[in-house]
């Protein structure tokens, strides 16, 4: 067990404890990354963030299952290699956010799996404490942090729309259609609020409504579903 800056970091097989120095920290983070170097590096960066209370790094699926079993996990951090498993791990944890760490090559062209389960993305080579902290904060606010190049890649991979009539597209209000188009641009709730001249709460309500009508678990999935149903163009 490692202790840094008054915070306890837990490795596999060790218990978690938090000191009084982090009484204001509230996020419990589990890292499921089988690459030890990458995982430990993430631990070190997360330990610098005052909003993070505990961190556990798991290198195996069994350890990750044990870590999330209690349900008290705010954020699960994975790479694309663990993306598919992340869906299973969080299936019964609706409040747990998934942050996907992408390699620079993956974000710019190579395939990466499990993208639909992610609530946010960061590029591994670009990870800094401030950027990671901002990504976590935005996810907890219901927004989706996503580098522009990742957004473009996801849109490109959504594929051609399904044939007309094979799937009945969701029926959205004009305001919800505007919101969907802005989601496809990668805008945050605050940015959507400004573009539509409404409150942040109103933007959040519209985004939630769009996701519910599309049956999407997150913003990325909402855009992908909409593209496949021909509701918005893929490019």
What CATH number is given to the structural domain containing 59?
A: 3.40.50.2300
Domain assignment present for 235: no
Which range of residues forms the domain containing residue 208?
158-228
Over residues 150-166, the pLDDT tens digits come to 766 666 655 545 454 44
- Judgement on whether residues 224 and 198 belong to the same structural domain of the protein: yes
Q: Is the pLDDT of residue 188 over 90?
A: no
Q: What mean pLDDT do residues 205-210 have?
A: 90
Using a 10 angstrom Cβ sphere, with 0-12 exposed, 13-18 middle and 19 or more buried, the burial of residue 4 is exposed
Output the pTM of the full model. 0.63
Over residues 80-98, the pLDDT tens digits come to 888 778 888 888 787 889 9
Domain assignment present for 152: no
Q: Regarding predicted confidence, which is higher, 47 or 6?
A: 47
- Judgement on whether residues 124 and 180 belong to the same structural domain of the protein: no
- Judgement on whether residues 113 and 27 belong to the same structural domain of the protein: yes
Using a 10 angstrom Cβ sphere, with 0-12 exposed, 13-18 middle and 19 or more buried, the burial of residue 3 is exposed
Final residue belonging to a domain, choices 98, 113, 146: 146
- Judgement on whether residues 138 and 190 belong to the same structural domain of the protein: no
CB 5 within 8 A of CB 49: no
């Amino acid at each position: 067990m490692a202790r840094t800056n008054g915070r306890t970091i837990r490795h596999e097989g060790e218990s978690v404890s938090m000191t009084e120095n982090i009484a204001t920290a509230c996020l419990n983070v589990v890292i499921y990354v089988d690459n030890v170097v990458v995982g430990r590096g993430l631990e070190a960066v997360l330990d610098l963030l005052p909003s993070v209370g505990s961190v556990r790094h798991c290198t195996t699926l069994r350890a990750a299952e044990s870590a999330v079993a209690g349900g008290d996990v705010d954020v699960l951090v994975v790479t694309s290699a663990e993306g598919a498993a992340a869906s299973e791990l969080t299936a019964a944890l609706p409040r747990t956010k998934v942050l996907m760490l992408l390699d620079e090559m993956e974000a710019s062209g190579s395939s990466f799996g499990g993208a639909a389960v992610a609530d946010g993305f960061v590029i591994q080579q670009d990870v800094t404490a401030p950027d990671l902290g901002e990504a976590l904060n935005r996810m907890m606010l219901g927004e989706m942090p996503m580098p522009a190049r990742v957004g473009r890649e996801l849109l490109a991979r959504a594929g051609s729309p399904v044939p007309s009539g094979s799937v009945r597209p969701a029926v959205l209000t004009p305001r919800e259609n505007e919101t969907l188009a802005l989601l496809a641009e990668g805008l945050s709730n605050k940015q959507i609020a400004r573009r539509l001249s409404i409150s942040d709460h109103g933007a959040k309500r519209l985004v939630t409504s769009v996701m519910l009508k599309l049956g999407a678990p997150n913003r990325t999935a909402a855009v992908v579903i909409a593209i496949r149903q021909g509701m918005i163009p893929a490019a």
